[in-house]
Structure 1
């Protein structure tokens, strides 16, 4: 692998932390499939995985993953000062910073990502339902939004790629 295609330490760490928190790339690809299947007749999980993988190569995405997971982990360990501790621990509905971090991911692939993100954030299919389960004792205030945003961004990337191919065919 040449220098330009190697994964950075930051990317490797972001991928590792997702896995440690119980999120696989396949989980995220399932969300992409959920968002895009009705728009693509021959959509495969491989297509979805490829787009998730490409989203994870972006530095903005890696930084959001590491920041969000770190805050969730600190909240689980009761290591934040009040009132921030309780706000993150309970995923207070008016907090909104977790969504702002997610928007930094969604922004990478354009405005279609916002609608994808809003939809999947409300529906909470697949891994998002699991991450939102407060009975586990784990804190995923940031992670659920980050995972939804990665799926939305990958969906946007997929949609843009399909539109580009259609334009070339015209």
Structure 2
């Protein structure tokens, strides 16, 4: 049976939390992305936007799919060569980024540039999730999903708050 929207939302939040992802950490990424452009920005406002992004069902589906693939990889339950590709976070695989782009696409084209920046620079939480040397967990999909949520929240924030932009003053 398919979960109701609110139940799916709860499961997605729990899965993020179980994997060591705090929404406040994602909000910090959003703040870092948007603070140069929005004069009256707070981490709380960024957190509101992160939560709004995660309330979208397609985002919840991407979270659940990506985390499940990471967990199955940790358990060695995928067929070869997919097992090794995800386990090693093969740079030419790209499906992890494709899944993440489904989240980014929800809030427009600015999300693509935000996501690209985060994926390239891997700041803060994304760097921790992408670090394969200190964790037994696989985060091939999760690091990209977190970056996509932050990018989408930053886009949502920019589009919803044109009045606090330095450009409009």
Superposition TM-score tier, normalisation by shorter sequence: over 0.9
Q: Who is 2:148 aligned against?
A: 149
Q: Does 1:94 align with 2:99?
A: no
Q: Who is 1:118 aligned against?
A: 116
Return the alpha-carbon distance in structure 2 between the equivalents of residues 165 and 58 of structure 1. 25
1:65 is aligned, of 38, 63, 66, to 63
Partner deviation per Cα, 1:35-75 (whole Å, 9 max, x = no partner) = 11111112101110000010010001000000000000000
1:163 offset after TM fit, Å? 2.2
1:23 offset after TM fit, Å? 0.2
Say which SS state the counterpart of residue 130 (structure 1) adopts.
helix
Q: Who is 1:158 aligned against?
A: 157
- In structure 2, relative to structure 1, the CA distance for the partners of 1:19 and 1:47 (3 Å cut) is same
Moved over 2 A (4+): 163-166
Return the alpha-carbon distance in structure 1 between the equivalents of residues 103 and 77 of structure 2. 26
Return the alpha-carbon distance in structure 1 between the equivalents of residues 63 and 110 of structure 2. 21
Q: TM-score, normalised by structure 2?
A: 0.92
Return the alpha-carbon distance in structure 2 between the equivalents of residues 24 and 59 of structure 1. 19
1:138 offset after TM fit, Å? 1.3
Return the alpha-carbon distance in structure 2 between the equivalents of residues 104 and 67 of structure 1. 12
Q: TM-score, normalised by structure 1?
A: 0.92
Partner deviation per Cα, 1:86-120 (whole Å, 9 max, x = no partner) = 00000000000000000000010011100000001
Further displaced range: 120-129 or 67-76: 120-129
Aligned length: 163
* Long gaps (5+) in structure 1: 1-5
Q: Who is 1:84 aligned against?
A: 82
Q: Who is 1:3 aligned against?
A: none
2:17 is aligned, of 16, 19, 32, to 19
Q: Does 1:104 align with 2:106?
A: no
